Structure 1
Amino acid sequence: MKEIIRVERKRILSLRNFLIFSVVILIFSIFSSLGSLNNYNVYDSSGNIIISSTDNLKESKLNKHDKLLDEKTLKDVVDRKDKSKYLYNSNLVTLVASNFEKLVEELTDDDISNFYKQRLSNVKVNLGGTAMVDDIDKLASKGEELNTPLQLGYAEGWKNLNNDMIDFVTIIIFIVPFIILPVFGEDPKTRMKQLYTATKHGKKTLVKSRIIAGFEVSSIIYGVAILIFSLSKLSILGFKGANLPIQNSVNYLFFPYNITYLQQYLLNVTIGFMAIIVMVSITLLFTVIAEQILSSAVFVIFFLAIMTSLPNNNFILNHFFKNFLPYNMTNFNSYYIHPEIYNISGEIIPTYVLVILVSFIVFTISTTCTVVISNIKLASKLK
């Protein structure tokens, strides 16, 4: 069976095509990373660069700028003791300001001492409209578990990586189904038809081998693409900050759960992988039903079009259906910026956990249907 899987894997994606794909991903990743780097140039009112991106990041990476967001630090921010335009300082000022509805200079001593209480109130406001008040209170209470005062420091590599993975993984999801379309296509060069007609259990072995090969190819493509993209981003923007809480980013200050940038990255990678295998399982089901590659491609295009065109203004549709589609699963920021609330048997389940569980169920059902239909069709061909 291993040899059959190897042959099928090679038929789906040759080494030459895999190398070409890897080179394209590498070039894309480098250009994306350099584009992110250019965003850190600091300009004056005339549009001239006063701090280059490399100098900005080099200064902001220094350990002396790592600090706790305690009352002393907050007081220093209000008094504007550091007026530099370097990233480390602008991030700090923006983070503090985002917790209040007034200017930093207007913050009082009471505001400073109640910084984390105000954050908890903002967590509840941020969750508003997604569930019942009791459920919002339950999830918001998770915000009290945040390790305070917050540890601040440089983590731009991880911030950019986690944010840019949204578009990158979505692109991979759109590409992979078309790569695996030939899984159930006929190729006389491999003589696979002779295998299942010549042996007693050949048809079952062939079906299993083709399905395994399809998932192996998809997993390899995803794994290599993520590895190249991640190393490119982190090599250019820095590996520092993986252990920092994501709440030290203004985007995630009101996220209720206590996780680090590394944990966020691993969650994103896992969700992206689940989205890939769901998309692959559905594609395999399409191909085994349609049998012809062209017809299967039409099915896949139709499915992708439906996923991307569903309306965003219907909460019920989004909450119970759209959030679990592969295309929407890869909108990673939705899990951290405006997380939705799912109450199951009185327990609040994080959206990203429920998405992983549901996608595994869909993958299992789709794959089972593919195996059953494939065996039935192959058996009918032998009669």
Structure 2
Amino acid sequence: MVKKLIFIEIKKCINPKIIFAFCFFTIIFLSTFFLYSISSTDVYVNEFSINAKIDGISAKRDAQAKIEKKLTDKELRNSLKGFTGITNDKSNFDSTGNLMINDSESIKMFNKYSDLANLVIRAYSPMYSFNPNILNHLDLNDITVQSIFVNRENNIKTINPDFSDKLKEQKYIDFGYSLGWQTLLNDLPYIQIYSMIISLIIAALIFFVEKKCNMNMILRTLATKESKINFIKAITVLIMNSAIYFSIVLIYSALIWSVFGLEGWNMKIQTSYLFWLSPFNINYFQAYVVNVLIGYLAVLVVTFFTCYEVTFVKTKLHSYSKNIQF
């Protein structure tokens, strides 16, 4: 009987108007955010358009695939010299000081080495800052893979001394193309916030919308206890929100992978300057799974508190209405 009642509750939410509204707003949100994510990707192009960005991402994938996976000091220095050779060339800047590279080979080289350069900038910049000019004040011949690790460990000790004790020893940087996973880890919080908003709406539909099917009356005619009614509704909300959350996350992930690719899933997240100070010694796929599960836990918390608050308010209102005398 419980399964049938849950099915009826789910069916209550699955009607053409609700499905259309949900699909419409989800498609608009995911498409808009996806295009914004591509346009804001750290890939240089001399023509501002989505197609140019996609071509730039593809070229970056091909170029970074040629970098040695186990980064050596020689490869690191050559990359930095190639990068600074472009950024220090005044002909690559316009009159207002903005980077304006026209040579196609220089663009490929810039995109190929920009992530490594940014990693070094992050490692040598003061805590919680990112100063691109710092490369002009460093002797590139003195920069080694080990020195980057030393700077990272010192910065992590500044954040929390206990973090450094949890770090496993890393002797080399496993560098390569991982832009798709980096982008996903950056975008997931916004996708999860949207999912939580949808969770609130679903909870409201399950607990409040009774117009057509009059579910509460059906349950009460079966002499069902109030606590069981709320349990059935809570299980329904959990099922609906779980299905919606993982559907939204997987759809957006598929969109990102379709453009950025799946390469780099097994690389350490510390190979990206964005996650250089992470105390977790895990790869991008593991970080993705952890973030998805944390987001799901947040959805469960939102679902629980919404169900609790709605039930509490309805109980108070029902109690208040009984005490009203006419």
Q: TM-score, normalized by length of structure 1?
A: 0.65
Residues 266-345 of structure 1 correspond to what in structure 2 (within 5 A)?
266-291=289-314
Superposed, 1:341-356 pairs within 5 Å as none
Change (3 A) 1:15 1:159: farther
Residues in 1 aligned to 2:252 and 2:186: alpha-carbon distance in whole angstroms: 12
- Aligned length in residues: 285
Q: Provide the residue aligned with 2:61 in structure 1.
A: 61
Q: 1:204 to 1:43 in 2, by over 3 A?
A: closer
After superposition, the Cα gap between the structure-2 partners of 1:186 and 1:61, relative to the gap in structure 1 and judged at 3 Å, is closer
Distance, in Å, in 2 between the alignment partners of 1:14 and 1:245 is 45
Cα gap change, 1:3 to 1:69, in 2 (>3 Å)? same
* Aligned residue runs from structure 1 range 8-157, under 5 A: 8-14=9-15, 17-40=18-41, 42-43=44-45, 52-62=52-62, 63-80=65-82, 84-86=106-108, 87-101=111-125, 102-103=134-135, 106-107=138-139, 109-112=141-144, 113-125=146-158, 127=159, 136-143=160-167, 145-157=168-180
SS at the partner of 1:242? Answer: coil
Residues of 2 paired with 1:4 and 1:241: CA distance?
Answer: 46
The one-letter amino acid of 2:296's match is F
Of the structure 1 ranges 19-28 and 77-86, higher mean CA displacement relative to structure 2 is found in: 77-86
Given that 1:246 and 1:261 are in contact with CA atoms closer than 8 Å, whether structure 2 keeps it comes out as yes
How far apart are 1:149 and its partner, in Å? 0.8
Residue 61 of structure 1: SS of its match in structure 2?
Answer: helix
Normalising to structure 2: TM-score of the pair?
0.75
Single out whichever of 23-32 and 154-163 deviates more from structure 2. 23-32
- Residue 184 of structure 1 corresponds to which residue in structure 2? 207
1:29 touches 1:232 (CA, 8 Å); kept in 2?
no
Q: Which has the larger radius of gyration?
A: 2
Structure 1 residue 85 displacement after superposition = 3.6
8 Å CA contact retained: 1:245, 1:259: yes
Task: Give the aligned CA root-mean-square deviation in angstroms.
Answer: 3.3
Counterpart amino acid of 2:313? A
Alignment partner for residue 222 of structure 1, among 229, 232, 245?
245
Q: Distance in 2 between matches of 1:188 and 1:108?
A: 71
SS at match of 2:123: coil
Q: 1:235 to 1:139 in 2, by over 3 A?
A: same
Give the distance between the partners of 1:154 and 1:183, measured in 2 at CA: 45
Does the CA contact (< 8 Å) of 1:9 and 1:217 recur in 2? Answer: yes
Counterpart check, 1:231 vs 2:232: no
Determine the C-alpha separation between the residues in 1 that align with 2:163 and 2:285. Answer: 22
Q: Which amino acid aligns with 1:90?
A: S
Offset, 1:248 = 1.6
| Partners of 2:9 and 2:215 within 8 A in 1 | no
State the secondary structure of the residue aligned to 1:54: helix
Unmatched 5+ residue regions in structure 2?
Answer: 87-105, 126-133, 321-326
How far off its partner does 1:23 sit?
Answer: 4.5
Instruction: Work out the percentage of aligned pairs sharing the same amino acid.
Output: 23
Q: Structure 1 residue 278: deviation in Å?
A: 0.8
Q: Which runs of 5+ in 1 are unaligned?
A: 128-135, 297-373, 378-383
How far apart are 1:281 and its partner, in Å? 0.9
